[in-house]
């Protein structure tokens, strides 16, 4: 959930409009928190007198809507500033090493910043997976509902295989990559993106290494400590 507050929608297919909307799903998802219903969840909180006392200082009552709003407000605090790249943008010319600077230039040359833009370097648009080449055919596994992307919500053929662009903040720590978890490490993810999104069909290993090194500079801090 780090930096999710900067996304214009939540989940790969954008099925949640905001953080409060996103928070409605996990509590009753059998693979996550597994509660039977929101009525059951509300009843549990109603029995916790200490929680109820504090919660009712901020909200008129305990409901699905007020609980998910509160969760969304908390999630807005989960941001990770002060990455090496942040320091570089603020004028610290020593924040990035030579390889990371080369990677940053390659990142721009290959127009990665066209989609990975904004405060969170992503999360601001839906884009097609496989602008150059058939990513899904080359992947070699059957299509699933998750591969539909935004189409699953809109049923507009234009949105087939379009996904919310993910944030690149802390990307070095969040493997595996893509909506299908098909890339197990960062360098493989960079190679795939160069091929299918930037039309670099045979990217040089040095370029992959340099871009990956730049992406490692996007790891930020939480509560004053570097994420690991």
Q: How far apart are CA 105 and CA 23, in angstroms?
A: 38
| Chain centre to alpha carbon of residue 119 | 13
Dig out the tokens for 193 from the structure. 């993106």
Contact 46, 37 (CB under 8 A): no
Contact 195, 201 (CB under 8 A): yes
| Active-site residue (options: 32, 46, 58, 105) | 32
Is 32 a catalytic site residue?
yes
The Cα-based distances of 47 to 42, 51, 67, 69 in angstroms read 9, 9, 15, 20
Residues with active-site annotation = 32
């Amino acid at each position: 959930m780090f930096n999710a507050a900067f996304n214009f929608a939540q989940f790969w297919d954008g099925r949640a409009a905001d953080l409060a909307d996103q928070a409605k799903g996990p509590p009753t998802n059998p693979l996550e928190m597994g509660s039977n219903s929101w009525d059951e969840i509300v009843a549990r909180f109603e029995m916790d007198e200490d929680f109820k006392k504090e919660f009712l200082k901020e909200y008129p009552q305990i409901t699905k809507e007020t609980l998910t709003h509160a969760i969304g407000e908390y999630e807005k605090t989960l941001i990770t500033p002060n990455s090496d790249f942040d320091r570089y943008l603020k004028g610290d010319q020593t924040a990035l090493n030579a390889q990371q600077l080369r990677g940053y230039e390659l990142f721009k040359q290959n127009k990665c910043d066209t989609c990975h833009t904004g405060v969170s370097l992503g999360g601001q648009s839906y884009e097609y997976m496989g602008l150059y080449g058939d990513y899904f055919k080359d992947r070699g596994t059957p299509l699933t509902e998750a591969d539909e992307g935004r189409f699953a919500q809109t049923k507009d053929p234009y949105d087939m295989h379009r996904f919310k662009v993910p944030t690149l903040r802390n990307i070095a720590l969040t493997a595996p990559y893509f909506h299908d978890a098909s890339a197990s490490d960062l360098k493989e993810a960079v190679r795939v993106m160069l091929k299918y999104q930037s039309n670099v069909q045979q990217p040089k290993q040095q370029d992959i290494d340099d871009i990956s090194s730049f992406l490692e500079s996007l790891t930020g801090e939480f509560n004053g400590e570097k994420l690991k």
